[in-house]
Amino acid sequence: MLKGGIPVSESKILVDVNNLKKHFSKGKDMRGRDTAVLKAVDGVSFQIRQGETFGLVGESGSGKSTVGRCLLRLYDYTAGEVSFDGQPLGKLGEKGLKPFRRRIQSIFQDPYSSLNPSLNVLELISEPMKIHGIYQGDERKEAVAALLERVGLKREHLYRYSHEFSGGQRQRISIARALSVRPEFVVCDEPISALDVSVQAQVVNMLEDLQSEFGLTYLFIAHDLSMVRHISDRIGVMYGGRLVEVAESDELYDNPLHPYTKALLSSILETDPQKVSQRIQLDGYAGAGNSGGQAELREVSPGHYVALD
Ligand SMILES: Nc1ncnc2c1ncn2[C@@H]1O[C@H](COP(=O)(O)OP(=O)(O)O)[C@@H](O)[C@H]1O
Ligand SMILES: [Mg+2]
């Protein structure tokens, strides 16, 4: 795909995820040692090029949001590394992270809980600008008004509160807030899942327009493949904390190789309940279990990777 005049496949690697693991403690003994761990992310590697949209799919609990939160450095990782524009983020403290807290932004699923109800739209959108010292006074207000119009809202909305808006409008406010500090990379964690189907496409189209306008790179997380195919250049499929398949979007659709990818696809393409139940059979699938170590991905055709069993 061509973005901003250069093919994405030739642009620089912006995000480099290398054998990332994030384990959560499920219990501790009397000495405070972990007695059981939940391997939410267990050896995930992928790269995202500048201007690219990398989709991450997989059913609920497969570890997608945890990957996103690690990329945002909202978590410390258990092992592995995430580099942004060549800089490893894992060992940076808050001071070192500050520039990356501007360059990397997020949009979450729930536009209801992610917007502080006691702030008006002007305050909501200008808050990140204040933190990062972008514009002052009237200039800042003008920038917020321009952004608001860019995401399809109006200047007269500046002094309203988030509860006065619909879900779709709130998500537009969240997008304006994320873009207010001119980020390079945006983690979109199920940004349309909570919205009415009628407004999902509008928000996705807007995200695409904003991407080419501002040269953005996206991680686009979703639990099914329907909208992701449209927006993503490449897609990674997560299962049990691991990536089981990575391919260009159309290739993944036309030629899914991993049984889990096939099941995921059939569950959205098939209305026949017997065929949908195919995915249940995957409960016994051992290839991506929490057995430790990195799942090995094998390149079966150019750019198409699948987990070895
Ligand atoms: N903060 C946390 N503490 C403990 N367990 C967590 C935490 N966040 C996620 N998990 C667990 O990690 C697994 C992966 O969760 P998540 O990344 O949210 O999956 P997804 O976004 O694909 O639905 C789940 O089993 C979830 O319960
Ligand atoms: Mg999630």
Contact 238, 62 (CB under 8 A): yes
pLDDT at 16 over 80: yes
pLDDT at 199 over 80: yes
Which atom of ligand 1 is found nearest the CA of 59?
A: 22
From 66, 72, 193, mutation site for ligand 1 pocket: most ligand atoms within 8 A of C-beta: 66
**Reduced to 3 states, what is the DSSP secondary structure of residue 136?**
coil
Cα separation, 124 vs 151, in Å, equals: 14
Task: Report pLDDT digits (tens) over 30-39.
Answer: 888 877 899 9
pLDDT at 10 over 90: no
DSSP line for 78-133: SEEEEEETTEE-TT--HHHHHHHHHHEEEE-S-TTTSS-TTSBHHHHHHHHHHHTT
- Please tell me the number of Cα atoms within 13 Å of 163 on its side-chain side: 4
Residue 23 CB–ligand 1 contact under 6 Å: no
Residue 36 CB–ligand 1 contact under 6 Å: no
State the ligand closest to the CA atom of 236: 1
Task: Report pLDDT digits (tens) over 59-80.
Answer: 999 999 999 999 999 999 999 9
Residue 65 CB–ligand 1 contact under 6 Å: yes
Task: Report pLDDT digits (tens) over 218-233.
Answer: 999 998 787 899 999 9
